[in-house]
A and B are shown apart, each in its own frame.
Chain A
Amino acid sequence: MRRVVVTGIGAVTPLASGAQNTWQKLLNSQSGIKSIDTFDVSDIPAKIAGLVPRGEGDGLFNAEDHVSIKDMKKMDDFIVYGIAAADQAIADSGWKPETDEDQEATGVLIGSGIGGLPKISEATDLVNNGKTRRVSPFFIPSCLINLVSGQVSIKHGLKGPNHAVVTACSTGAHAVGDASRMIMLGDADVMVAGGAEAAVCRLGMAGFAAARALSTSYNDTPTEASRPWDEGRDGFVMGEGAGCVVLEEYEHAKARGAKIYAEVAGYGMSGDAYHITAPAEDGNGGFRSMRNAIRNAGLNPEDVDYVNAHGTSTPLGDEIELGAVKRLFGDHAQKMSMSSTKSATGHLLGAAGAIEAVFSILAIHEGVVPPTLNLRNPSEACKGIDLVPLEAKQRKVNVALSNSFGFGGTNASLVFKAV
């Protein structure tokens, strides 16, 4: 089977625009969660979110750097974020396919959990208020999930497989995993893969709040709200942004002298077959997804140094995941590190697995594991494992595993390995 490596990374997150900018803030224990001031939240119990910092200057997100003003109205924010993260990852990889052959060997697979919820909400208002004729001809392509992949392919002339994943909060991980398989099987030599999300709007907040999924006790102290495994956790914090990687067949990358961050060594999937929003209580789905990924990598659990957990800061999910990790890794659980970077970014839903893949790759590449913020009082069941509380930690990471679990009981785990 052909080997697949990561040669480019990109991220637009509540911490910053840019993978390195985001990573530095993450390692400095900064949080990207703040009060929502862009729309009315007076009637919504959760009033905070991880919002992409906008503006001009290093680390701030300026949409016009990536999309012309004319084209901006043809896409909802999740597409703009996705294009930006892809632009960054492609520039970082140095891969510029110009011949027909190279363009046809380069594909795109970027997903989203929800797609253009803000635009759907706006257009619904028009239709329900007798303004059907005001619905833009760009409405549908502005909110379709696969239009991130479509727009990226058009912008960069990428004519290989053009695909999109929709598996709720597992989307980003599935996208990276599926794209790596396309390269392994020879459908492409290079894939731009990732996830994008921008569902922080009244409709999105109201929906997740109604599902009782969001944190509501920390509206006055937003940076303390996302606290995976901490006794005071009370739900996840919505986030927005996008993560992207350039995946490349190993020999292809070597031949052009590309910088190689890590290898996509393994990919595992599973279904809970249990409940639409709650994880199976025994953590069996997450357990099998991790086990499958490690097996697919040809490794043993003892080889894993770092786990980037799904860890969303919900009362139920965090402990179930941790239980599955303890069962799978046994005594080795005490020797590895595991953290939840959602403590700093919030939960980027369909983008989460992609930015967390980027963090796992950087942990290997830079020999440091990012912290779990706000983890001051771990719940009783969350002891006996290094959850990297509060501060980043230097440690050699040869193998990293990243978990993503989504509504519908869909689980994905990725294993990255130093090359």
Chain B
Amino acid sequence: MSDVADRVKKIVVEHLGVEEDKVTENASFIDDLGADSLDTVELVMAFEEEFGCEIPDDAAEKILTVKDAIDFIEKADS
């Protein structure tokens, strides 16, 4: 697992208060991890903070799963 994936999952565990093994790459924040719309806004802010990047609103709207987040950040990084 990449370093980015590890860090993303750690943030998800902390912010949504879910068990680590539930945070699979395909897990949807809202459908599988119990987040509401405000939680997802805050998650995106936490990703921005952690990775020092800016995630515009239209991109944030498409980040629905753990994998979406990892992919976006890896792309932004490269």
The answer, among B17, B49, B54, for a CB contact under 8 Å with A70, is B17
Cβ of A57 within 8 Å of any chain B Cβ, yes or no, is no
Interface size on A, residues (CB 8 A): 11
Residues of A within 8 A of B41 (CB): 137
Whether B42 lies near A136 (C-beta < 8 A) is yes
Q: A68-B17, A70-B16, A70-B17 are in contact. Are A137 and B48 (CB under 8 A)?
A: no
Q: Which of A71, A134, A137, A138 contacts B49 (CB 8 A)?
A: A134
A256: chain B residues at CB < 8 Å are none
A133 to B16, CA, bound (A): 20
The residues of A that contact B15 with a CB separation of less than 8 Å are: 70
Q: Which of A68, A69, A71, A137 is within 8 Å of B42, CB to CB?
A: A137
B38 in contact with A137 (CB, 8 Å): yes
A-B contact count (CB 8 A): 21
CB pair B45–A134 under 8 Å, yes or no, is: yes
Whole-angstrom CA separation of A73 from B49 in the bound complex: 16
Q: For chain B, what secondary structure do more than half of its interface residues adopt (helix, strand, loop), or is it mixed?
A: helix
B residues 1-52 in Cβ contact with A at 8 Å = 15-17, 38, 41-42, 45, 48-49
Output the least CB separation between B17 and chain A (Å): 3
Highest count of chain A CB atoms <10 Å: which of B17, B49, B54: B17
Binding site for B on A (CB under 8 A): 68-71, 73-74, 133-134, 136-138
Cβ contacts under 8 Å, A136 to chain B = 42, 45
CA A74 – CA B15 in complex, angstroms?
Answer: 11
B15 to chain A, nearest CB (A): 7
Residue of A nearest to B44 (CB): A137
